[in-house]
Amino acid sequence: MYRPCGVFDETFTQDLAIVRTKAHWGLVFFALAFLVCLPALASGALLANMNAIGITIISVLGLQIVVGYTGQISLGQAAFMSVGSYTAFMLSTYLKAPFLIALPLSGLTTGLAGLVFGLPSLRIKGFYLAMATLAAQFIIPWLIVNVRPDLTGGTSTMVVQPPRIFGYKFHTQQHMFYLIMAVVVLSIYLTKNLVRTRVGRAFVAVRDNDLAAEVMGVSILRYKLSAFFVSSFYAGLAGGLWAYWMRCVSVDHFTLMDSIWFLGMLVVGGMGSISGAVMGTIFIRVLDILVKAIGPWLGEFFPSLAGAATAALAPTVFGLIMMLFLVFEPRGLAHMWERVKSFYRLWPFSY
């Protein structure tokens, strides 16, 4: 991490701090204040969009750990989310488990599911691993629909009761906003910490060169599996929140397409960067909202396309952006932001 000129560490506490400069503190403060005040000012539709973005950020953060930091491809993040949402649904409906217990448990269950599909990663890598997680994307929904349809409701959509914490009911977008954003902020903080601990460094070692890591005493078995566990844990949290937020669960919410979108958000945001995961998610989601708004408008100009335009525009734009970023800015938005910062600091000099 690059810091502006003149920022020095004098104690170990300073060296370990996540938030380092005054500007940084100010930014954090304003971001939190913004999140706290927003529900009072914004409309329900805007909050609903932000809630969706928040849930996606949690899931993409998990994916960042396994893809960006550990270098293992996962095409199954959406399927893992579905495990989390169905766990939350079943715990809250059949066992009447309170939200604060059901949510971590759905994370844990999903983590275990992730371990199962992460097992092949011990023998294979690259394309092969993408395949194993692709299999998860087909097998998990099939299991949900066919194994115990009496519990999961099969292909039908099941209703989830709104979450309660100590008797307080979270039943509007405003309430859910605070709940979701709390989890988002917590998971960003935890991820930021995780990647600079021993475990996080081991992840990066496995990513950069697994043989070298093994030789230096990093147990590949242990760290690949823990990466999958943590990543799926995040997916489970996101899925659980999704179930509580949508107040319903259905396997159709979590398709292969969603998994690809999550990967695309990583590409756009930048691999191996927490802020990249957040920026990429926001960028793609906002773009998606814009495209959905433009679709009907395009339909007016090209009446023959009216039906297709809305459905076709999103994948076209998204696929194009993904390819453009890969070709022209493989390190993503996070890297662009770094460049902007260094430009601002060094101006009027070029370096």
Nearest alpha carbon to residue 51 among 152, 173, 134, 151: 173
Q: Please, which contacts does 259-263 make with residues 24 or more away whose CB atoms are closer than 8 Å?
A: 259/74, 259/75, 259/76, 259/77, 259/78, 259/79, 259/137, 260/75, 261/318, 262/56, 262/59, 262/60, 262/63, 262/77, 262/78, 263/63, 263/67, 263/73, 263/75, 263/77
Q: Which amino acid is at 155?
A: T
Site for another protein in 104-123 (CB under 8 A): 119-120, 123
The CA-based angle 315-320-324, given to 5 degrees, is 150
**The token pair that represents 236 in the structure block:** 């489970």
Tell whether residue 309 is a contact of another protein (CB under 8 A).
Answer: yes
68 and 263 Cβ atoms separated by less than 8 Å: no
How many other CB atoms are found less than 10 A from the CB of residue 333? 23
How many other CB atoms are found less than 10 A from the CB of residue 231? 29
Tell whether residue 318 is a contact of another protein (CB under 8 A).
Answer: yes
Nearer to another protein, 135 or 185 (CB): 135
Which range, of 12-20, 125-133, 160-168, 243-251, touches another protein by CB under 8 A?
Answer: 125-133
Identified binder of another protein from the candidate list 38, 108, 139, 194, rule CB under 8 A? 139
Identified binder of another protein from the candidate list 127, 344, 349, 351, rule CB under 8 A? 127
Which range, of 33-41, 163-171, 174-182, 318-326, touches another protein by CB under 8 A?
Answer: 318-326
Cα–Cα distance for residue pair 211/92, rounded to 1 Å: 45
Tell whether residue 73 is a contact of another protein (CB under 8 A).
Answer: yes
Chain Cα centroid distance, residue 18:
21
Site for another protein in 195-234 (CB under 8 A): 211, 215
Which range, of 27-35, 40-48, 137-145, 186-194, touches another protein by CB under 8 A?
Answer: 137-145
Tell whether residue 305 is a contact of another protein (CB under 8 A).
Answer: yes
Cα–Cα distance for residue pair 314/292, rounded to 1 Å: 7
Tell whether residue 326 is a contact of another protein (CB under 8 A).
Answer: yes
CB of 28 to another protein, least distance (A): 31
Tell whether residue 263 is a contact of another protein (CB under 8 A).
Answer: yes
Tell whether residue 322 is a contact of another protein (CB under 8 A).
Answer: yes
Nearer to another protein, 40 or 327 (CB): 327
Residue numbers at the binding site for another protein (CB under 8 A): 67, 71, 73, 119-120, 123-124, 126-128, 130-132, 134-135, 138-139, 142, 146, 211, 215, 260, 263-264, 267, 271, 305, 307-309, 311-323, 326-327, 330
